[in-house]
């Protein structure tokens, strides 16, 4: 509870909420979205990576670790963090660092003046930040009154969400698959949890931005779009950000010795049609590309 497992702290972040922000990417997620662009944030433990393109073949790692014959061998020794960190170029390294809450507070408050002058703040993202809600709560309490956003899928236990309810100014909620069976099958998540959590933040009247990754075939299909529109109307939501999927995560998959699953982005026409359809029922849609 006194520390968080963090993969990255991105200062001057301008895509995850209003104004200039610092985004904390937390490691660990309970969903398995096939289009995930941050595969390094899925496992809840530290992980060794190897980026072949940065390797200069100096074999410092091999000199250091008796088990290695070549850098790639490190994948067989997932606990050899120090061996990985001996790499001079950072081709071998570790995703995830345990950071004490006090230290995190120090880092997050470095840019307070920039937040204040642009109505910005701090965003906790991931992974699924709710999984580390207790430690986040501790941090937030110390940095009040900075604006706090939580980027979440809401597929986490209810009590985790409740930890943060009184301390969050904005929820960025990713709505993904709205069919119970498909959610279970594709994401390995229980949609009931999502709905329950969503009603909690709705009741609390905390500002919420709905985001929807438009991924073919997983989320961007007839059935799911229909369900999405129902969801928006039922909950009286008049604005949505549609996210264009991208494959910038490819190198990270490679670096973890994982394969990226296949998916596609919708055609321009399809996006246009959706926009028109949403317009007709007075829902404002923004299409965000990276």
As a dihedral over the C-alpha atoms of residue 187, residue 33, residue 4, residue 95, rounded to 10 degrees, the angle is 140
Identified binder of another protein from the candidate list 4, 5, 20, 274, rule CB under 8 A: 20
10 binds another protein (CB under 8 A): yes
Pick out residues in 43-72 that bind another protein (CB under 8 A): 56, 58, 60
**Integer angstrom CA distances of residue 266 from 36, 37, 76, 208, 275:** 16, 17, 38, 25, 13
Query: What is the x/- site pattern for another protein, positions 105-144, by CB under 8 A?
Result: -----xx-xx--xx-x------------------------
- For another protein, the closer of residues 89 and 233 by Cβ is 89
Gap between the Cα atoms of 153 and 173, Å rounded: 6
CB of 58 to another protein, least distance (A): 4
Nearest to 50 by CA among 265, 256, 214: 256
- For another protein, the closer of residues 8 and 202 by Cβ is 8
How many amino acids of this chain bind another protein (CB under 8 A)? Answer: 23
CB of 121 to another protein, least distance (A): 12
Pick out residues in 77-106 that bind another protein (CB under 8 A): 88-90
DSSP-based helix, strand, coil % in the chain, nearest 5: 40, 20, 40
11 binds another protein (CB under 8 A): yes
Gap between the Cα atoms of 9 and 17, Å rounded: 15
Q: What's the length of the chain?
A: 290
Q: Which residues are near another protein by CB under 8 A?
A: 8, 10-15, 19-20, 56, 58, 60, 88-90, 110-111, 113-114, 117-118, 120, 248
């Amino acid at each position: 509870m006194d520390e968080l497992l963090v993969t990255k702290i991105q200062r001057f972040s301008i895509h995850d909420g209003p104004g200039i922000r610092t985004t904390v990417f937390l490691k660990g997620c309970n969903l398995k979205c096939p289009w995930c662009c941050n595969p390094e944030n899925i496992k809840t433990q530290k992980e060794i990576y190897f980026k072949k393109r940065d390797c200069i073949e100096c074999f410092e790692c091999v000199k250091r670790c008796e088990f290695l014959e070549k850098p790639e061998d490190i994948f067989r020794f997932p606990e050899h963090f120090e061996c990985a960190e001996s790499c001079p170029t950072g081709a071998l390294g570790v995703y995830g660092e345990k950071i004490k809450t006090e230290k995190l507070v120090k880092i997050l408050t470095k840019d307070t003046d920039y937040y204040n002058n642009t109505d910005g703040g701090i965003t906790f993202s991931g992974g699924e930040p709710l999984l580390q809600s207790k430690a986040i709560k501790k941090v937030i309490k110390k940095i009040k009154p900075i604006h706090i956003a939580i980027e979440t899928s809401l597929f986490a236990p209810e009590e985790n969400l409740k930890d943060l309810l009184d301390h969050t100014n904005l929820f960025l909620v990713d709505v993904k698959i709205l069919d119970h069976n498909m959610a279970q099958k594709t994401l390995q998540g229980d949609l009931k949890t999502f709905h329950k959590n969503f009603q909690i933040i709705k009741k609390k009247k905390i500002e919420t931005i709905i985001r929807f990754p438009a991924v073919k075939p997983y989320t961007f299909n007839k059935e799911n779009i229909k369900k999405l529109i129902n969801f928006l109307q039922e909950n009286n939501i008049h604005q949505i950000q549609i996210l264009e999927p991208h494959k910038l995560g490819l190198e990270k998959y490679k670096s973890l010795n994982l394969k990226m699953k296949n998916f596609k982005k919708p055609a321009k026409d399809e996006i246009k049609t959706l926009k028109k359809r949403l317009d007709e029922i007075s829902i404002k849609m923004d299409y965000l590309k990276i």
